[in-house]
Every structure is written in C-alpha cells, then in structure tokens.
Structure 1
Amino acid sequence: MANGSRQAVWEFFGTELKRRREEAGLTQTELGAKVFVSGGYIGQFEQAIRKPQLDVAKRIDQVLQTDGIFERLCRKLIDDPRYADYFAQVVELERLATLICEFAPTVVPGLLQTKEYARAVTIAANPFQADEHVDEIVTARLERSLILSDATRPEYWVALHENVLRSPVGGPTAMAAQLDHIASLMRARTAIVTVLPYKAGAHAAMGGMLQLMEFEDAPPIAYTETSFSGTLVDVPVVVKRAQRAYDLLRVATLSPEASLTLIESAAEDFRRCASTT
C-alpha cells in the first residue's frame, strides 16, 4: 500500500472513530479511560496524527461494539509484505516515538544501516530470493531511517556490542562505509552510540536484541527479537525490567567519545583490509 493510500485509510479510521464515539455519547476522555489511554491520545487517533496499537483498536471495538471494524483497519494498515508480521507494528511505533533506545548484540540496527550493509544482511537471511524481493526489503529498511532526518525525530540511543564492529558484513569496503555512516551520525548528534567492549564480559541484556520506545502521550513499550521472531511488550512491570536491563547495560559501555574512537578505528582496519585484497 502506497504511503498516500495508507494515510487516507488512517484518516478514515480517525473519522469513523469520532463518529462511532459520538454516537455512543462518549467524550474523548471517557473513551480513553475505557481503553486505557488518555483522551488526548484518542483525539490524536481521530485526527490521524497518531496510529493506535492493535490491542487498543481491539479495546475500542469492544467498548463501542463496532464488530471488529477498527481491528480490521489496524491490521490492514500494519500489514506490509516488506516486513515480517511480528515487526510491522514496530515500524509504525517508531514513527510515533519520542525516544528510542536499542541494544544490538550482533547486527547494526536497521535505523543505522547503509544500503550495502542492509543488502548483505537481507541476502544472508533470504539466500534464494530474487533481487526484486531483496530490493523491496532494503528499500523499506532505508525508509525507516528517514525518521532520523525528520524535524521531529526521536532521541535515539544505541548500544552496540563490539561484535557488531568486527563482523565484515558485506565485505571490508561495505563494512568500513557502514561504520563511517554511524560515526557521521554520532558527530552530527543525530544519535548517541556507545559500544559494549568484549572485556565487559557478562551483561544485563544477554538475551538478544532489545528496543525500548517512549511516547508523548502513551506508556512505554519494549521489543525483543531473535533470529526468527519478535515480541512487543507493553506490560508495565516487564517494560520496567527491560528498562532497568538497558540502564545496566549502558553503564557497562564505553563513553560516547571512546566509542567513536573505537568505531573509527574499526572502520580504518576494514579499509586497510580492503586495500590489501
């Protein structure tokens, strides 16, 4: 679905929500209380400024007795064949977040990837796919990163395990360019990136990739991912544990200045490797 078409459907979602809410005789605040979000958040749904999570859409259907229309619309809008089913909603939430914190144990996070790096990762995961399909996935990943150049971009904190810096994904030339890209974002203060060095040993987030998101008018969310699945968590006690794990992890990383030096040194190592092959 094209971006313009998606926006049109979100606008329909908002218009229909307002109509159904008013028919039920509820204010935005009253509906928000029943579905566990603020009245301001309901207003932003109705104006198509923000997009509801699937579980919120389901609760709206239950409260307004709308026979699942908002759940169906929400599923249609987060159904993007370029993303795995478990990740499509994360992409929508990234666009709404005011703060994103990530820990990447093995691979550069999608929001930081260059085209060459993203292509190498995609082919590694989809070795039998045609170039056309690979290109669609890579394009979608690069589109995600546009939120970092937006005027209302979120604060973006990233902790990279040193593994990420040392694996020559796409070959030494592509890897050097990838690390240069990260360094340029750090220097431009678009992202704060720190590195968890090998010598740190055991750490609080050894279970795998972790992403935390905060929003202007909604509770924070945690997202964890393994090679073949991902889990979006909004249970407050679990999100709090994830936030604590990230805080402990960040304490163990190098300073931003030392991390930048290490990243640039690794990039130079890959350049030397490329020049000798």
Structure 2
Amino acid sequence: MAGQKDLDPSSSPRALLGAELRHAREKAGLSQDELGQRLFVSGSFIGQLEAGTRRMLPEYARMLDVELGMGDFFTRNCGAAAKSRYPEHFAEAAEVEKEATAIRQYAPLLIPGLLQTPAYARAVNRAYDPTAPEATIDEWVDGRITRTRLLDHPTMPLLWAVLDEAVLRRETGGRAVMAEALDHVVAIARRGRVIVQVLPFSAGAHKAMEGSMRLMDFAEAPPLVYFEGPGTGRLEDDPTTVTQLRLTFELLAAVALSPEKSLALIETLAQDYAHEELS
C-alpha cells in the first residue's frame, strides 16, 4: 500500500498492528470468519490478532498483505510486534497474559511465574540451564519478575492458582529461598489479590496428571489455553479444548483444599523451611 508508514515500535506494536488489521479487513468488506477462511485459520484467530492477544507470524503477515492489498505493510511490521524479552516458546503467552482479565492456572511442579520471588526465579532458571552465563540468568530473572507487576493492579487480572502439593515440598534454591517464596505467595493471597489452593497428595489421581495448564480470558477476544513443556509451549483457542480444560480446572479446584486451609498449609511449610534453615 503506497505511503503506508511503519508502526512505531515504542508504542504497543501488537495492539497497533491489530487495529490496522481490523481497519483493513472492514475496508475490504470481510468478516473475521471470511478472512480466516482465506488464511486457513478460524475467525476467532483473526479476532485475537485484531485484539492484540495473538502474535502475527511472518507467514500470516504475508498472506494478509496479499488478501487485503496492503503491499508489504504487515510483513514489514510483524517483526516489531513479535519482539520479546522472553524465550521463543513462551513469548506469545507472556504477551497475551498482559491482556487477560482472568488467569486460571494449575501448577504441578513449581510456583507460577506471576507469584515467584527473584531468588526462586533465579533458582528455577539456573536449573533450566546450568551452564548459562550469569548475565543471561539475570536477564531471564528480570523478565520473570517484570511479569509479576501485573499484580500491582488491585483487581485485574483475576489470578486463581491451584498448586500441587509437590510445588511446596520440592526444595528449590534451598530452604531460605523456599521460606521466602512461600511467604510471598501467602502475602499476596492474604491481601485478597489472588486465589490460591493446594491440591494435596491425599487427593490421589486427578484429571490433570499429564501436565500444567493455564486458561486465560479476555474482554475482547475468545479465551485461550497455554500448554507448556521443557523448552516448548503452545497456545490453543479451539473452543472444545478450552471448554474441556475449564472443566478440568473446576474439578481440580473442587478436590483441592479450601483457600484458607491452603494458606494455612503453605504458612506451616514456610515456617518449617525457615526453622530448619536456622537450625
């Protein structure tokens, strides 16, 4: 498109790119579903691109340029919208959670990133890559702690975390680090900012034994679920999958300890870690 300017990367590239996409689609007289069919994706995926909750990958940018007669506008600018301080497999999920109105997460192995302390995050990242330079670890920790600022807002997003009891008992970074980390979780929950439940070992087998999951709701886009494994991650917007995993989370919450009993257990374990560290 002649005369089309690049987006300003100092603002919110993904949101601006989404706004440009919506404008171009409507100008072309296409619905989200119609445009999605041309790109072999769902209409909801187009809606997520427009809302800035999904990253525009180069292959989609090229197709959008062709279908909407945008020259190379989206191809030029999708790079700015994709820039992230996070690992490639997690970058899109980290950007998406900034737009979420609610996050429901089951954590089977470690404290969720939004609830971590710097020392705990450092221990986790060092375990991920024992040979990484200290500067790289510093960068990863800074990125993770920056994410926790989402909770500076008094109410948004809602964060509801179900932690497997293994999260509390896996000594990560040493006893002092664990004591501080668990105290931090309790403090955030006690001030009413998040809901935390513990899924005790006594609950036995459950529906989410195959791994972690994170459900995210948005004001102007369909919900997403994020699956994560070692060095991998995937966002999914299939309505059937999201509905099934929402039910899974509800079942986990139903068999987990109540929020009050959960915090009591976390406080007890934090005190145990602190006492044993001093012994």
| TM-score past 0.5 threshold | yes
Q: Please report the RMSD computed on the Cα atoms of aligned residues, expressed in angstroms.
A: 2.7
Q: In 2, distance between residues paired with 1:239 and 1:229?
A: 19
Q: In 1, distance between residues paired with 2:121 and 2:252?
A: 26
Show structure 1 runs of 5+ residues with no match: none
Report the CA distance between 1:68 and its aligned residue. 6.3
TM-score, scaled to structure 2: 0.84
Instruction: Work out whether residues 61 and 70 of structure 1, in 8 Å CA contact, stay in contact via their aligned partners in 2.
Output: yes
For 1:214-233, list aligned pairs within 5 A.
Answer: 214-233=217-236
Equivalenced residues, count: 262
Q: In 2, distance between residues paired with 1:212 and 1:51?
A: 17
Report the CA distance between 1:66 and its aligned residue. 3.4
Q: What corresponds to 2:83 in structure 1?
A: 79
Q: What corresponds to 1:64 in structure 2?
A: 68
Q: What corresponds to 1:196 in structure 2?
A: 199
Secondary structure of 1:245's match? Answer: helix
Aligned AA (1:250): A
Secondary structure of 1:98's match? Answer: strand
Instruction: Work out whether residues 196 and 253 of structure 1, in 8 Å CA contact, stay in contact via their aligned partners in 2.
Output: yes
Aligned AA (1:193): V
Assess, with a 3 A threshold, how the Cα gap between structure 1 residues 13 and 217 changes in structure 2: closer, same or farther: closer
Q: In 2, distance between residues paired with 1:139 and 1:73?
A: 26
Q: What corresponds to 1:248 in structure 2?
A: 251
What's the % identity of the aligned pairs?
A: 36
Q: In 2, distance between residues paired with 1:77 and 1:110?
A: 23
The match for 2:132 among 129, 133, 139 is: 129
For 1:105-124, list aligned pairs within 5 A.
Answer: 105-124=108-127
Aligned AA (1:200): A
Instruction: Work out whether residues 79 and 85 of structure 1, in 8 Å CA contact, stay in contact via their aligned partners in 2.
Output: no
Report the CA distance between 1:126 and its aligned residue. 1.3
Assess, with a 3 A threshold, how the Cα gap between structure 1 residues 248 and 136 changes in structure 2: closer, same or farther: same
Instruction: Work out whether residues 78 and 92 of structure 1, in 8 Å CA contact, stay in contact via their aligned partners in 2.
Output: no
Q: In 1, distance between residues paired with 2:156 and 2:274?
A: 32
Q: In 2, distance between residues paired with 1:73 and 1:5?
A: 9
The answer as to 2:103 corresponding to 1:103 is: no
Q: In 1, distance between residues paired with 2:72 and 2:241?
A: 28
The answer as to 2:155 corresponding to 1:155 is: no
Report the CA distance between 1:228 and its aligned residue. 2.4
Q: What corresponds to 2:54 in structure 1?
A: 53
Assess, with a 3 A threshold, how the Cα gap between structure 1 residues 194 and 87 changes in structure 2: closer, same or farther: same
What is the CA deviation profile of residues 223-249 of structure 1, one whole-angstrom value per residue up to 9, with x for unaligned ones? 111122112111111111111111111
Q: What corresponds to 2:208 in structure 1?
A: 205
